[in-house]
Amino acid sequence: MKEVIRFFDCFAGIGGFYYGVQQIKSNKYEFRHVAYCEIDKSAQKFYDVACSSEGTQKIQDVKDIKTKKNPNGIMVSDFDILFAGFPCQSFSNVGYRKGFDDPRGQLFFYILDMLDYYKPKYFVLENVQKIHTIQNGSLLDEMKKALCEIGNGYILHTWNLLASDYGLPQKRNRIFFCGIRKDLTEPKGISEPPVVDLKTAKYPTTWHLLEKGAVDPKHYIPQGSRRTILTKPSNWEGDVNIDNAIARPLTATMAKWHRANQDNYFSEAYIAGTDPYVRPSVNLDTEPIRRITPLEGFRLQGFPDKYAEIAKNLKLAYSTQYKLIGNALPVNLAQAVIEHFLNSYL
């Protein structure tokens, strides 16, 4: 009999964790989706179609969940593993260092409160890697300490991973915190999930996933903005390279026509070319150049093509789609981390 692992997908977005676990095939365990929490209405609409199964509990605001500090809140259905890609804004301005008595303002505290109250067997949390650099790394140390000590204590593994090491042509770094309740096992050292050779992946480069046919003209850089987008200001670091075989990290604001050194643009010459690793010589004044389409965005994050159909059927604006895609957790990372972590213990 397989062990059933009931999961609560918190800060669910469009379901990077959800779709990641659907890809895991194990003869020891299987997943059951019991609850999800997401505050954004567009993400909810999307998730309800793409991910929610019948009987899945839906909670809108994590602040409404029952915990010791919120005894009248909504009780989450029993779950064994908590998934949470908590919003990174939590760390940008509020004084985490004030400690756990800090007025509620940071969503990481809600994760701690849930672990303290529900004491799930496992958790997998995800965030931007820049946490490393905040307060010279002391914030990360405090977070790890808190996660080890919360409830009856957890054994913690922390990994910094790059999406392009796990089968997606995108330089997206994420930090993962994987915990197993201390009373369930003995601590052991676990290496990072084994890397995947990108050449063997479904899409080894961006070129492999770019739509080759006509796309909505709205995706082409507007004539009047070309110079701003494609010229490097003299005081800026970095490059303006377009036609990157491995994409820059997708952002939630990619609808805003960022400068080329912050975003992903592709020329028709590259898209129509035959060598994904060669950047054609492109006239930046005249060559048609475009941003990625939502379908390409979903692919770059490891989602199936049907997700683009779902977004289209829901009539989500491009800006909304890009926000949801840019905030998402790459599916391949979710899958690799959860599978490796659980297989190390089960």
Ligand X SMILES: C[S@@+](CC[C@H](N)C(=O)[O-])C[C@H]1O[C@@H](n2cnc3c(N)ncnc32)[C@H](O)[C@@H]1O
State the residues that interact with ligand X by CB under 6 A: 11-17, 37-40, 43, 61-63, 85, 87, 107, 327-329
The answer to whether residues 50 and 25 touch, using CB atoms and an 8 Å cutoff, is no
Q: Which stretches within 51-160 are classed as H helix?
A: 107-118, 138-149
The answer to whether residues 169 and 246 touch, using CB atoms and an 8 Å cutoff, is yes
Given the complex with ligand X, which of 111 and 155 has the nearer CB atom? 111
Catalytic annotation, pick one of 10, 51, 88, 178: 88
Q: Which of the 8 DSSP states describes residue 15?
A: -
Distance CA 41, CA 295 (A): 21
CB of 243 to ligand X, least distance (A): 27
CB of 99 to ligand X, least distance (A): 21
Residue of 345, 344, 329, 342 whose CA lies nearest to 24: 342
Tell me which residue has its CB nearest to ligand X.
13
Given the complex with ligand X, which of 114 and 230 has the nearer CB atom? 114
Considering Cα of 225, then 214, then 43, then 160, what sign does the dihedral take?
Answer: negative
Given the complex with ligand X, which of 18 and 203 has the nearer CB atom? 18
Given the complex with ligand X, which of 14 and 242 has the nearer CB atom? 14
CB of 87 to ligand X, least distance (A): 4
If one counts every other C-beta atom within 10 angstroms of the C-beta of residue 286, the result is 8
Active site residue 88: yes
**Sheet containing strand 154-162, strands side by side:** 57-59, 29-37, 3-10, 81-85, 122-128, 173-181, 154-162
Strands (E) in the chain, as ranges, are: 3-10, 29-37, 57-59, 81-85, 122-128, 154-162, 173-181, 265-267, 289-291
Given the complex with ligand X, which of 21 and 289 has the nearer CB atom? 21
Tokens of 133: 């650099």
CB of 14 to ligand X, least distance (A): 4
Given the complex with ligand X, which of 107 and 289 has the nearer CB atom? 107
CB of 45 to ligand X, least distance (A): 12
Q: Which residues of 262-278 are buried (b: 16+ CB within 10 A; e: fewer)?
A: bbbbbbebbbeeeebee
CB of 69 to ligand X, least distance (A): 15
Characterize the bridge pairing of strands 289-291 and 3-10: unpaired
Residues labelled as active-site residues? 88
